[in-house]
Each structure stands twice: as C-alpha cells, then as structure tokens.
Homo-oligomer: A and B are copies of this chain.
Amino acid sequence: MTTNELYKRYKDYYKKFKGYRILFSILEYDNSTIAPIKSLDEKSEYTNFIFEDYMKLKKSNDYINLINELDSKKDRLNPQFKRIAYLAKKELDQEEKVPLSKQVELNKLTAKAFLTWNEAKAKNDYNIFAPSLEKIINLVKEITLLRGETDGNIYNTLLDDYEEGITTTELDSFFNALKSKIIPLLKRIKESKVVINDSFAHAKVSKAKQLKLSKYILKLNGYDYSRGALGEAEHPFTSEISPNDIRVTTHIYENLFFSNIFSTAHEGGHAIYNQNLGKNLICNLKESASMAMDESQSRFYENIIARSPEYIDLISKKVNSLLPKEYKNKVTNKEMYLAANKVEASLIRTEADELTYTLHIIIRYELEKGLFCGTLEVKDLKKEWNRLYKEYLGVDVTNDSEGILQDIHWSCGSFGYFPSYALGNAYGAQILHTMKQEINVGQAIKDNKIKQVIGSYLKKNLYQYGKLYSPKELIIKLTGEPLNPQYFIDYLTNKYEEIYFNK
C-alpha cells in the first residue's frame, strides 16, 4: 500500500474511534451533570456492548495490520504520521497482550465501584469501598503485568499512560526536591505572625450569582463560549467532546465562592488549551501533549494567573458586588489577594492552596507506588493515608469522606494520574519563567489582555503543537531545558516569603 493509502485508511479508523469517543464523552458528561443517579445502572447495562464494539474495532486484525504496516514504513511517513504511528504501535503492543475480556471486566468493575465509592463517601465508611478497591487494584495489576513492566516496575507502565516516559526514579527525585522545601516552608508559615482574615470568603453567595461569576471568569481568561458550555457537576471536570465542543463544569458551594472562582479558572485552563490546538493537526495529534501538560495549563490559569495580585485587582469590584451587605464593596484588593492565597494545611486536595496542594499529591504518589510495587497493601491503605497527612501536612484525618474517600480516581481504576497535577505545577512555573523573558505577564493581566497576550503566547509556543511532540521534547522546545523543579520552588518561595514574611 502507498503511504497515502495508509494515511487514508488510518484516518477512516480514527474517524470511527472518534465517533465512539464523542458518544461516550457525551454520555459521561450527561451522567456527571444531569442524569438521575437511579438511571446510571440501567444505562450502563444497555449501552455496554457499544463500548465493547469500540474495543473490538481497536483490536481487529485489520486495524492491527494497518498499524504494523505504518510502523514498518515509519521512515517514509510525514512527521505527523510518524508520531501517530509511533503512538499507535506503542498502544497496540501493550493492548495486544491484554485479552478484551479483561478490559471489559475492568469496565464493569469500575462502573460498580463508582457507585460503591459514592455510597461509602455518603456514609463516611471506607470499609464499604475497600473490597471494590482491592478488586480493582488486583485487576489493574494483572492487566499491567500483561502489558509489561518498565524498568522492572509496573507502576512505571501506569505513569507512562499519563505522562509519556516518566518513571518513579525521576518522580522520586522530583518530589523529594519539592518535599524538602515545601514541608519546612509550611512549618514556618504555620508559625508566622501574619494572620489572614478571610471571613468574607465564607459569606453566602447564591448559586445563580456564582454561575454568573463563573461565566465572567471564563470570559476574562479567554474561553470561547461559542465552542463550549458551562455545567455543574459534583466533581468539576473538563470535557473535550469534539473540536468545537470543549466544556467546563464547576461545583457551587454557596459558602465558598473562591472555590468556584479557582475551580472555574482551573477547568477553563484545560478548555483553553484544547480550544486552541493547531488547526492543521490531524487525528489524535489534535489533543494536548499529555495529562501533565494539560494540568500545567489548568493550574497556570488557576494559580499563576487567577491568584496573582493583578488578577485580583481585575475581579475585585465584581466579586465585591456579589457579596452580602455585610461585606459588599468593603473588601480591599489586598485583603482579597491575601485570602485567595492563604495557606492552610487541610484535608481536601481540591480545596488546597497552591503551596500545600503538592503535598496532597506526594501522599497519593507514595501510596500508589507502594500499592503497585508491593510495599503497601489495601488493608493498610487508610492507616498509611492518615499517617502521611499527619507527617507532611500536620493534620489529623478524622473521617473517611474527607480522607481516603475524597478522590474519584481510584474508583475509576485510574492509578498514575495524580503526579500529573504536580508535574503540571512545575511545568507551569518553568513555562512562566521563559514566558517572562518575552512578555510582561503582570501587565497583560492588569490590562485585561489575558487572551491577547498570554493566551497568544501559549498558543504559539505550546497549544499549536498538540500531541506532535512528547512532553519531554516539548518542555525543552518551550523552555530550553528538561523539567526542573527549581522554578516551581522559587516561584512558591518568592510568593509566600512575600506574603508571610514581608520579604
């Protein structure tokens, strides 16, 4: 077959895969935002075979032969197809080793486990969820062993699913560098005499007002409303349904409007990345470079932009106008900035401040590594979770819902994802460092030109490349060096020294 024929055949397959994924994404979005809980079981029961059809197509001999042929001709392919062939062959080599029945088993298991996790969380009882979790972990281990270890370690195989090429060796060194700075800094902050009064941040702001605020934030940040939507979900997420339908969700707590602001900015960051992928990218290269790179953008918009003093100046008037009488138009920009950046060691990852957030991730990383490297068992997981929270954050976990049951990931069979959040923070700080050599970031925010200046820079230097490069290549292309935690450490140190020690 000529390369052009191969291209055409691959594109036809991709189109079908994408068709299935569009339907699954809409189903998932619907399940998470609108569908009544009572209907989830029956729907999964009825529609499961369509997911199986999708998997069968991905495992069909015809498709496998196509990928093998593309791979055998890789030196003659154009750059986009060379990358596509590499990624497809890699996926195939692993998937070939896993019987479809195992994948189906995992899907059924996680569909049920999600409900069990919900129940356990509602009833605040880890014991309800533990048996499901154990089953999931055993099955994921079994499947990952079939797929193959990397450097004699199945956790590396899982990490690679989310961040191409990353290993526990690199992550251990990365997280150790962060731990050695963040834990002492957190201790010092706890002893600092600076008291940040954020009582206004707990004032009641109605759902309707907060949804208007979400829209305002998304608009400021450059999200294109005509190619997306805003929804409400229990756990906020971004849904990349199709090129012109990239959706953001938020969760409204009426007594915690900051949560909505930063969560919206976070999901908006994911969405802005995915709305601005290069127009000429084809097939699965029209995606973000990796989970961590995607997280770098969500956390860039959430923290580096939305928690900056310039951004607070920009939104302060609007926020003030929504507050109840007691606080209305009385909160100064400085007070708002400090409240938005208040450090507080707490139990919930998604509500954590920018400093302690990474510690939440490190705990999950260490637990997952233990589970998959055989040094930790599910029966000891809760104890170890609570122990690490005490050791790293200095907090006592007094109930399961706010402890080990807080995250959805494990109930879905997602292991190896958490480090992406921390890598995202570090990529973000490193990108900011380079960006500042070319543009004035603070001024752009001040001038309400986030999209025109910062968005354009990121589009030109990051978004346009989609998945054409591996994240390791991309960060070098973008910043001239590999991932380096020092930029994030410096960023955090500068920020919090100024806030808590007036430096």
Contact = CB atoms under 8 A, between A and B. Distances in A.
Interface string A221-260: 0000111110100000000011111010000000000000
Interface in A9-47: 15-16, 18-20, 22-23, 26-27, 29-30, 34-39, 42-43, 46-47
Interface residues on A, range: 35 or more
Interface string A40-62: 00110011111001000000000
Contact of A26 (B16, B19, B30): B30
Nearest to A33: B34
Contacts of A241: 35, 39, 43
Contact of A38 (B34, B46, B49, B227): B227
A418 B153 CA distance: 65
A38 B231 contact: no
A16 B52 CA distance: 12
A1 interface: no
Contact of A242 (B19, B42, B226): B42
A195 interface: no
B50 A20 contact: yes
Interface string A314-341: 0000000000000000000000000000
A37 B245 CA distance: 9
B242 A34 contact: no
A47 B35 contact: no
Nearest to A209: B208
A166 B38 CA distance: 37
Contacts of A22: 43, 46-47
Contact of A47 (B23, B49, B226, B229): B23
Contacts of A16: 49
B245 A35 contact: yes
A49 B36 CA distance: 28
Q: How many copies does the complex hold?
A: 2
Contact of A34 (B20, B35, B53, B231): B231
A227 B29 CA distance: 17
Contacts of A48: 19
Interface in A422-450: none
A127 to B, nearest CB: 27
Contact of A36 (B27, B30, B245): B245
Contacts of A18: 46
Contacts of A30: 26, 29-30
Contacts of A35: 229, 241, 245
A50 B27 CA distance: 15
Nearest to A229: B34
A244 B39 contact: yes
Nearest to A37: B226
A65 B231 CA distance: 46
25 contacts: A15-B46, A15-B49, A19-B47, A19-B49, A20-B50, A22-B47, A23-B23, A23-B27, A26-B27, A34-B231, A34-B247, A35-B229, A36-B226, A36-B228, A36-B244, A37-B226, A38-B226, A38-B227, A38-B245, A39-B227, A39-B242, A42-B242, A43-B245, A46-B242, A53-B53
